[in-house]
Structure 1
Amino acid sequence: MTVAEAARIGLGVTDPGTELEFAGIDADGPLGVLLDGSADRRIEALTTPAGLDGQLRPYQERGLAWLAFLDAVGLGGCLADDMGLGKSVQLLALLVHERTAITRRSKRWPAPTLLVCPMSIVGNWEREAARFAPSLRVLVHHGTDRVKGEEFAEQARRADLVLTTYALAARDHEDLAATGWRRIVLDEAQNIKNPAARQTRAIRALDAPSRLALTGTPVENRLSGLWSIMDFCNPGLLGSQKAFRERFAVPIEKLHDDEAAARLRRITQPFVLRRKKSDTSIITDLPDKLEFDESCRLTREQGSLYAGVVEDMLQRIEETDGIERRGLVLQTMLRLKQVCNHPAHLLGDGSRLPGRSGKLDRLDEVVDEVLASGEKVLVFTQFARWGSRLQAHLRERLGRDVLYLHGGVSKLERDRMVATFQADGGPQVFILSLKAGGVGLNLTAANHVVHYDRWWNPAVEDQATDRAFRIGQQRDVVVRKLVCAGTLEERIATLIERKKDLAERVVGTGEGWLTELSTDELRQVIALSADAVVEEEVDGATSR
Structure 2
Amino acid sequence: MGLGKTIQTVAFVTYIAEMKGCRGPHLILAPKAVLPNWRNEFKKWSPDLEVCFYDGSSEDRRQIREGQMSQGTFNVILTHYDLVMRDKTYLKRYEYETLIVDEGHRLKNAQSKLSDILREMYTFKHRFLLTGTPIQNSIDELWALLNFVLPKVFNSSGSFDEWFAAPFQGSSEDLSQQLNEEENLLIIHRLHQVIRPFMLRRTKREVEKELPNKIEQIVKCDLSAWQRLQYTQVTNKGKIEMGRGRMRLQNQAMQLRKACNHPYLFLNEYEPMDPEELVTASGKMMILDNVLPKLKATGHRVLLFSQMTRVLDILQDFFEMRGYKFMRLDGTTNTEDRSTMLSQFNEPDSDYFIFMLSTRAGGLGLNLQTADTVIMFDSDWNPQADQQAEDRAHRIGQKKQVLVLIFVVSGTIEEVIQRRAQEKRNIDAKVIQAGMFNDKSTHADRHELLEQIMKQDEVNLGTDVHTPEELNELLARSEEEVSVFEQMDAAATESGKQLRLLGEQ
| Equivalent position to 1:270, from 164, 180, 197 | 197
Helix, strand or coil at the partner of 2:375: strand
Q: CA deviation at 1:190?
A: 0.7
Which residue in the other structure is 1:311 paired with? 236
Please show how residues 381-420 of structure 1 align to structure 2 within 5 Å.
Answer: 381-398=306-323, 400-420=324-344
Unaligned runs of 5+ in 2: 240-247, 273-277, 432-461, 468-495
Unaligned runs of 5+ in 1: 1-82, 104-108, 315-327, 507-528
Which residue in the other structure is 1:488 paired with? 413
Query: CA 1:149 to 1:132, structure 2 compared with 1: closer, same or farther past 3 Å?
Result: closer
Tell me which amino acid in the other structure corresponds to 1:336: L
Query: CA 1:250 to 1:164, structure 2 compared with 1: closer, same or farther past 3 Å?
Result: farther
Q: Matches of 2:149 and 2:271 in 1, distance apart? A: 51
Q: Aligned pair 1:114/2:39, yes or no?
A: no
Q: Aligned pair 1:97/2:10, yes or no?
A: no
Tell me which amino acid in the other structure corresponds to 1:469: H
Q: Matches of 1:383 and 1:239 in 2, distance apart? A: 38
Query: CA 1:292 to 1:330, structure 2 compared with 1: closer, same or farther past 3 Å?
Result: farther
| Equivalent position to 2:123, from 207, 226, 233 | 207
RMSD: 3.0
| Equivalent position to 1:184, from 86, 95, 99 | 99
Which deviates further from its counterpart, 403-412 or 304-313? 304-313
Q: Aligned pair 1:164/2:79, yes or no?
A: yes
Q: CA deviation at 1:334?
A: 0.7
Which residue in the other structure is 1:451 paired with? 376
Q: Aligned pair 1:198/2:118, yes or no?
A: no
Q: CA deviation at 1:130?
A: 1.9
Q: CA deviation at 1:495?
A: 4.5
Q: CA deviation at 1:229?
A: 1.4
Query: CA 1:300 to 1:248, structure 2 compared with 1: closer, same or farther past 3 Å?
Result: same
Which residue in the other structure is 1:346 paired with? 266
Q: Matches of 1:530 and 1:349 in 2, distance apart? A: 34
Q: Aligned pair 1:174/2:94, yes or no?
A: no
| Equivalent position to 2:132, from 216, 224, 229 | 216
Please show how residues 292-441 of structure 1 align to structure 2 within 5 Å.
Answer: 292-313=217-238, 331-352=251-272, 353-398=278-323, 400-424=324-348, 425-441=350-366
Which residue in the other structure is 2:2 paired with? 84
Runs of 4+ off more than 6 Å: 529-534
Q: Matches of 1:530 and 1:373 in 2, distance apart? A: 30
Helix, strand or coil at the partner of 1:500: helix
Q: TM-score, normalised by structure 1?
A: 0.71
Which residue in the other structure is 1:23 paired with? none
Q: Matches of 2:84 and 2:26 in 1, distance apart? A: 14
Tell me which amino acid in the other structure corresponds to 1:187: D
Q: Is the 8 A contact 2:24 2:76 kept in 1?
A: no
Query: CA 1:117 to 1:150, structure 2 compared with 1: closer, same or farther past 3 Å?
Result: closer
Tell me which amino acid in the other structure corresponds to 2:117: A
Helix, strand or coil at the partner of 1:146: helix
Q: Matches of 1:152 and 1:194 in 2, distance apart? A: 35
| Equivalent position to 2:56, from 140, 143, 148 | 143
Could you tell me the percent identity over the aligned residues?
A: 32
Q: CA deviation at 1:364?
A: 2.0
Q: CA deviation at 1:467?
A: 0.4
Query: CA 1:216 to 1:260, structure 2 compared with 1: closer, same or farther past 3 Å?
Result: same
Q: Is the 8 A contact 1:153 1:179 kept in 2?
A: no
Q: Is the 8 A contact 1:149 1:175 kept in 2?
A: no
1:318-347 residue CA offsets vs partner (Å, 9 max, x unmatched): xxxxxxxxxx99811111111111111233
Q: Matches of 1:476 and 1:249 in 2, distance apart? A: 37
Q: Is the 8 A contact 1:487 1:532 kept in 2?
A: no
Q: Is the 8 A contact 2:369 2:392 kept in 1?
A: yes
1:236-288 residue CA offsets vs partner (Å, 9 max, x unmatched): 222223433443346643533624333222111111111222x4x55320001
Q: Matches of 1:354 and 1:229 in 2, distance apart? A: 44
Which deviates further from its counterpart, 483-492 or 473-482? 483-492
Q: Matches of 2:466 and 2:404 in 1, distance apart? A: 25
Query: CA 1:150 to 1:420, structure 2 compared with 1: closer, same or farther past 3 Å?
Result: closer
Helix, strand or coil at the partner of 1:209: strand
Tell me which amino acid in the other structure corresponds to 1:135: D
Q: CA deviation at 1:156?
A: 7.8
- Bigger RCO (CA 8 Å, 6+ sep): 2
Q: Aligned pair 1:284/2:209, yes or no?
A: yes
Q: Matches of 2:71 and 2:370 in 1, distance apart? A: 35
Which residue in the other structure is 1:473 paired with? 398
Helix, strand or coil at the partner of 2:355: strand
Query: CA 1:343 to 1:182, structure 2 compared with 1: closer, same or farther past 3 Å?
Result: same
Q: Matches of 2:320 and 2:30 in 1, distance apart? A: 33
Q: Matches of 2:292 and 2:70 in 1, distance apart? A: 48
Tell me which amino acid in the other structure corresponds to 1:410: N
Q: TM-score, normalised by structure 2?
A: 0.76
Please show how residues 15-30 of structure 1 align to structure 2 within 5 Å.
Answer: none
Helix, strand or coil at the partner of 1:208: strand
Q: Is the 8 A contact 2:376 2:405 kept in 1?
A: yes
Tell me which amino acid in the other structure corresponds to 2:110: P
Tell me which amino acid in the other structure corresponds to 2:95: G
Q: CA deviation at 1:84?
A: 0.9
Which residue in the other structure is 1:36 paired with? none
Q: CA deviation at 1:483?
A: 0.7
Q: Is the 8 A contact 2:68 2:74 kept in 1?
A: no
Query: CA 1:194 to 1:490, structure 2 compared with 1: closer, same or farther past 3 Å?
Result: same
Q: Matches of 2:232 and 2:220 in 1, distance apart? A: 19
Query: CA 1:204 to 1:283, structure 2 compared with 1: closer, same or farther past 3 Å?
Result: same
Q: CA deviation at 1:393?
A: 1.7
Q: Matches of 1:421 and 1:132 in 2, distance apart? A: 24
